[in-house]
């Protein structure tokens, strides 16, 4: 079995010329990105780092932020109170759909789609918008293990064009799922989506979740351990949008993707893994990212139902 470093280098080589997928363009700033960026990072729960490609290239976290803000909302409100406002049911619809919200559920189905994420952001505690933003930034800083920044251009770009998200927020206000400070909530949501991260940062953040909420390098407890299971559950069932079922079948670990081309995934008790490659498929998931994760899962047997049967080979590969 190849060492993880050798294997990710070979995957990078194999897929770097794969010319498929489109850049997200509904947020104008995202359409300006170089589609050739390609990075793979693995951070183990004991702090080893394996990576290849453009691992230090900053990009905006987009929907991957939803995972961490959901964790914070769980800490702020607890499981039951939060469930009253945001469900945990996968939709099978695109991430920005508002059909079920309007015609059926009225409560957003889960926190990994836009409606649920906006409602979740609206629940973050704090006396005013600055305090709420500062709490979110402090939380992201704990996960990343260093200072974090919001990309103002992307924030403004999305604020100027995010009419679907605005429509969702209005629908949720109509159904009593969010308060009437709707523009403030949307600003905070657009700011969290515009957080700058690197591929290595994402793998580190995932490794903290793989490690019961303890940061693999700083040792800090970044989220209460009792909520890690909840976060991973919604990632597993809802994190890859309308590809979530197929992802669970093919790759089999909790994951979250974003329209800037990142995918972050958690191998419990082993490692956090991230891929960054901007071109997306029709579901909004990174094309190269899907290929890399499928190959990694097969090679090292870290599908959850391989893990639970003791078939995972990832730890062995770290020492070889
Ligand atoms: N900021 C983006 C939006 O709200 C995030 C979507 C995504 O990454 N899938 O549309």
Gyration radius of the chain over CA positions:
18
| Residue 201: band (very low, low, confident or very high) from pLDDT cuts 50, 70, 90 | very high
What integer best gives the mean pLDDT of the chain?
94
Rounded mean pLDDT, 220-245? 96
Determine the pLDDT at residue 91. Answer: 85
DSSP conformational letter for 283: T
Rounded mean pLDDT, 167-175? 91
The class (CATH top level) of 4-28+35-59+198-216+236-318 is alpha beta
Q: What is the pTM of this model?
A: 0.95
| Residue 270: band (very low, low, confident or very high) from pLDDT cuts 50, 70, 90 | very high
Separation of alpha carbons 261 and 58, rounded Å: 12
Separation of alpha carbons 24 and 27, rounded Å: 7
Residue 316 confidence (pLDDT) above 90 = no
Residue 312 confidence (pLDDT) above 90 = no
Residue 62 in contact with ligand 1 by CB distance below 6 A: yes
Determine the pLDDT at residue 242. Answer: 87
pLDDT digits 0-9 by tens, 275-286: 999 999 999 999
Residue 71 confidence (pLDDT) above 60 = yes
Query: Beta-strand (E) ranges in 202-302?
Result: 255-257, 262-267, 271-276
Buried b (16+ CB within 10 A) or exposed e, 281-294: eebbbbbbbbbbbe
The rounded Cα 300 to chain-centroid distance in angstroms is: 22
Determine the pLDDT at residue 319. Answer: 62
The rounded Cα 71 to chain-centroid distance in angstroms is: 12
Determine the pLDDT at residue 41. Answer: 98
User: 37, 66, 97, 256: which one is catalytic?
Assistant: 66
Interval between CA 286 and ligand 1 midpoint (Å): 13
Residue 49 confidence (pLDDT) above 90 = yes
Determine the pLDDT at residue 176. Answer: 85
63-193: CATH number:
3.40.710.10
Q: Are 61 and 193 in contact (CB under 8 A)?
A: yes
Separation of alpha carbons 295 and 293, rounded Å: 5
What percent of the chain has a predicted confidence (pLDDT) above 70?
99
pLDDT digits 0-9 by tens, 123-149: 999 999 999 999 999 999 999 999 999
What percent of the chain has a predicted confidence (pLDDT) above 90?
83
H-helix or E-strand containing 201?
Answer: helix 199-210
Separation of alpha carbons 106 and 103, rounded Å: 7
pLDDT digits 0-9 by tens, 5-18: 999 999 999 999 99
| Residue 103: band (very low, low, confident or very high) from pLDDT cuts 50, 70, 90 | confident
Determine the pLDDT at residue 244. Answer: 92
Residue 50 in contact with ligand 1 by CB distance below 6 A: no
H-helix or E-strand containing 233?
Answer: helix 225-238
Q: Which of 91-100, 107-116, 131-140 has the lowest mean pLDDT?
A: 91-100
Q: Where in the chain is the domain with CATH 3.40.710.10?
A: 4-28+35-59+198-216+236-318, 63-193
Q: Which of 25, 96, 108 to mutate to test the pocket of ligand 1 (most atoms within 8 A of CB)?
A: 96
Q: At what angle do helices 225-238 and 199-210 cross, to 10 degrees?
A: 120
Determine the 3-state secondary structure of 89 from DSSP. coil
Q: Are 71 and 142 in contact (CB under 8 A)?
A: no
Q: Answer yes or no: 63 catalytic.
A: yes
User: 41, 63, 157, 260: which one is catalytic?
Assistant: 63
Q: Which atom of ligand 1 is nearest to the CA of 284?
A: 9
User: What are the helix (H) ranges across 78-198?
Assistant: 79-85, 99-100, 114-122, 129-144, 152-161, 163-174, 182-193
Straight-line distance from the first to the last Cα atom of the chain, in angstroms, rounded to the nearest whole number: 8
Residue 158 in contact with ligand 1 by CB distance below 6 A: yes
Q: Answer yes or no: 66 catalytic.
A: yes
Whole-number Cα distances in Å, 225 to 12, 26, 43, 144, 195: 34, 37, 19, 17, 24
| Residue 320: band (very low, low, confident or very high) from pLDDT cuts 50, 70, 90 | low
Q: Which of 159, 166, 259 to mutate to test the pocket of ligand 1 (most atoms within 8 A of CB)?
A: 259
């Amino acid at each position: 079995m190849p060492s993880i470093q050798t294997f990710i280098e070979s995957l990078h080589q194999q897929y770097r010329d794969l010319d498929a997928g489109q850049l997200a363009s509904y947020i104008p700033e995202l359409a300006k990105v170089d589609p050739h960026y390609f990075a793979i990072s693995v951070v183990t729960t004991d702090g080893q780092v394996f990576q290849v490609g453009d691992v230090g290239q900053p990009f905006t976290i987009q929907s991957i932020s939803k995972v961490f803000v959901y964790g914070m909302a769980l800490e702020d409100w607890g499981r039951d109170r939060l469930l009253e406002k945001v469900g945990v049911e996968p939709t099978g619809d695109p991430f920005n759909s508002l059909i079920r919200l309007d015609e059926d559920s009225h409560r957003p189905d889960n926190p990994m789609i836009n409606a649920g994420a906006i409602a979740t952001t609206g629940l973050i505690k704090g006396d005013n918008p600055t305090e709420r933003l500062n709490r979110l930034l402090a939380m992201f800083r704990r996960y990343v293990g260093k200072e974090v920044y919001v990309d103002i251009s992307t924030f403004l770009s999305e604020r100027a064009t995010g009419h679907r998200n605005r429509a969702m927020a209005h629908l949720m206000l109509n159904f009593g799922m969010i308060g009437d400070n709707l523009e403030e909530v949307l600003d905070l949501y657009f700011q969290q989506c515009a957080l700058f991260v690197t591929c290595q940062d994402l793998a580190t953040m995932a490794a903290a979740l793989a490690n019961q909420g303890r940061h693999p390098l700083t040792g800090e407890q970044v989220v209460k351990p009792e909520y890690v299971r909840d976060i991973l559950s919604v990632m597993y069932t809802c994190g890859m949008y309308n590809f979530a079922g197929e992802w669970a079948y093919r790759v089999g670990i909790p994951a979250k993707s974003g329209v800037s081309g990142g995918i972050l995934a958690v191998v419990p008790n082993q490692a956090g893994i991230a891929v960054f490659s901007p071109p997306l498929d029709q579901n909004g998931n990174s094309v190269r990212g899907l290929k890399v994760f499928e190959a990694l899962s097969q090679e090292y047997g870290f599908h959850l139902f391989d893990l639970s049967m003791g078939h995972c080979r990832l730890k062995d590969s770290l020492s070889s």
